[in-house]
């Protein structure tokens, strides 16, 4: 059987360089690479996890990506200081995940979450 090694979302963006800058400056990713002149494709990473950006070609605006983290509350505090567009603060949901979500300049949503055994907060999930 073939062993799967990684999932790398490809997000359609208006400006690859601006997307890379947002993910590095506001979300704490590292610059990975970019290609083309002007830049048509590029990536950011945290550890082995990468997100690709493609200029107005692959994917659709408004894609959602879920990323598991070990401490969503610590990440929330960091992203708040960085000025990320946080759409929902860390919340315990009935599906056993404490998560927050942020929006990027192209309308893509990133759901950062961690498993929890704490009871739900009783707040609704914020999709917009």
Q: What is the pLDDT along the chain (128 residues), one digit of tens a residue?
A: 999 999 999 999 999 999 999 999 999 999 999 999 999 999 999 998 999 999 988 888 899 999 999 999 999 999 999 999 999 999 999 999 999 999 999 999 999 999 999 999 999 998 87
97 domain residue, yes or no: yes
- pTM assigned to the model: 0.93
Q: What is the domain-level CATH number for residue 51?
A: 3.10.180.10
Q: Quick check: is 125 in a domain?
A: no
Structural domain count, the chain: 1
Q: Which domain holds residue 64?
A: 10-115
At residue 73, the pLDDT reads 98
User: DSSP letters of 72-122?
Assistant: HHHHHHHHHHHT-EEEEEEEE-TTSEEEEEEE-TTS-EEEEEEE--SPP--
């Amino acid at each position: 059987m073939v062993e799967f090694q990684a999932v790398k979302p490809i997000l359609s963006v208006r400006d690859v360089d601006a997307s890379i800058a947002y993910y590095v400056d506001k979300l704490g990713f590292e610059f990975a690479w970019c290609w083309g002149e002007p830049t048509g494709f590029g990536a950011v990473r945290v550890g082995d996890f990468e997100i690709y950006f493609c200029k107005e070609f692959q994917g659709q605006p408004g894609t959602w990506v879920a990323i598991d983290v070990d401490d969503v509350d610590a990440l929330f505090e960091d992203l708040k200081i960085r000025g990320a567009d946080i759409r929902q603060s860390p919340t315990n949901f009935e599906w056993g995940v404490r998560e927050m979500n942020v929006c990027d300049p192209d309308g893509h949503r990133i759901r950062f979450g961690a498993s929890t055994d704490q009871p739900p907060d009783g707040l609704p999930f914020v999709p917009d």
